[in-house]
Chains A and B, each alone.
Chain A
Amino acid sequence: MKRRPEPVQVVKERRDRALNALVEGIPYVQFLGISFERHGDELTGVLAYDDKLIGNPALPALHGGVTAAFLETTALIVLSWQSLWDEIEEGRIEAEDLSPDTMPRLPKVIDITVDYLRTGLPRDAYARARVNRSGRRYASVQVEAWQDNRHRPFAQATGHFLMPPAPAA
């Protein structure tokens, strides 16, 4: 017999709960004011503007380190979210049980190369990442950040990550 699909709110609530458990447990992500918007399995990182993110006050411009951290965080969360999504959708992890304390371990950054294409303006920024390869041990992720115009990115990066060991069955 075909199972009835779950009500949309139940599905959304479960997915959002898992995403919150992933993001809210990281102090530095909260400190910078980064949050994530979810459409299906696609995430967009949002860096909410704050005066403390400014590097050069004369321009003014976002600090290059903030831009790098925003790109790195988006790459890391998108990569983690991709494996978490599969675990949840296939029922191996119960989203209800997820909290910052019970989260699967995060991947580790091996290296990241950041291209600064334009000045980061004093306003909100957005970023999306694409996982180009995700193996059992290593992953390669590309990420792009923009402000007013999606087609005029102000920074982009490629990073390599070491995946956490798979949980013992």
Chain B
Amino acid sequence: MQDIPPDTDARRDFARRFIQALPHCGALNMGVEEVGEGYAILSMPWDDRLVGDPATGVIHGGAVSTLMDTCGGTAVMTHPKGPKTTATLDLRIDYMRAAEPGKAISAKATCYHMTRTVAFVRAVASDGDFDNPVATAAGAFAVTT
């Protein structure tokens, strides 16, 4: 992976290219909303293929996890320390409530600490307001610098 560009627009382009290069993220139509230093907001539009409970039409937790995992990886890659690669070591996901059927899901992730080998990430997912989350996550990512 190349060095992270210094200005915001370039960083967003970098994140967009990073996401677009991941086939499964393309399959889920994930998009980049916002990127900062060790910080990212991604979104995923509503899709009936992602329904996990046919009785309620609620999206499957796995799809929300995938969005938060990707968002966590993006936050790691945009960290000022500029890691070359990253991979999830572990991820704990807490599901607060069902996402409202028909609504897009957004995830916000922060890489709040990075050593030479490990990055620590927190993430939150919501169908509207991040203060009213659908799920939260905490994870450790392996990095090569």
Q: What residues of chain A have their CB less than 8 Å away from a CB belonging to chain B? A: 25-32, 51-57, 61, 63-66, 68-70, 72-73, 100-101, 103, 105-106, 108-116, 119
Return chain B residues, CB-CB under 8 Å to A61: 87
Q: Report the contact-size class of chain B (Cβ under 8 Å from the partner).
A: 35 or more
Having A64-B66, A111-B93, A112-B65, one finds 5 other A-B pairs with CB under 8 Å, namely A63-B69, A103-B55, A109-B61, A114-B93, A116-B89
Which residue of the partner chain, among B24, B25, B55, B95, contacts A109 with CB atoms under 8 Å?
Answer: B95
Dominant secondary structure of chain A at its interface with chain B: mixed
Indicate whether B63 reaches chain A with its CB closer than 8 angstroms: yes
What would be 26 A-B contacts, judged by CB atoms less than 8 Å apart? Answer: A28-B60, A30-B49, A31-B49, A32-B62, A52-B24, A53-B23, A53-B24, A56-B22, A56-B87, A63-B70, A64-B91, A65-B24, A65-B65, A73-B62, A100-B54, A108-B95, A111-B93, A111-B95, A112-B61, A112-B93, A113-B90, A113-B92, A114-B91, A115-B89, A116-B87, A116-B88
Give the complex CA separation of A53 and B63 in angstroms.
12
The reply to whether B51 and A68 contact each other, CB–CB distance below 8 Å, is no
Give the complex CA separation of A111 and B88 in angstroms.
17
Return chain A residues, CB-CB under 8 Å to B26: 52
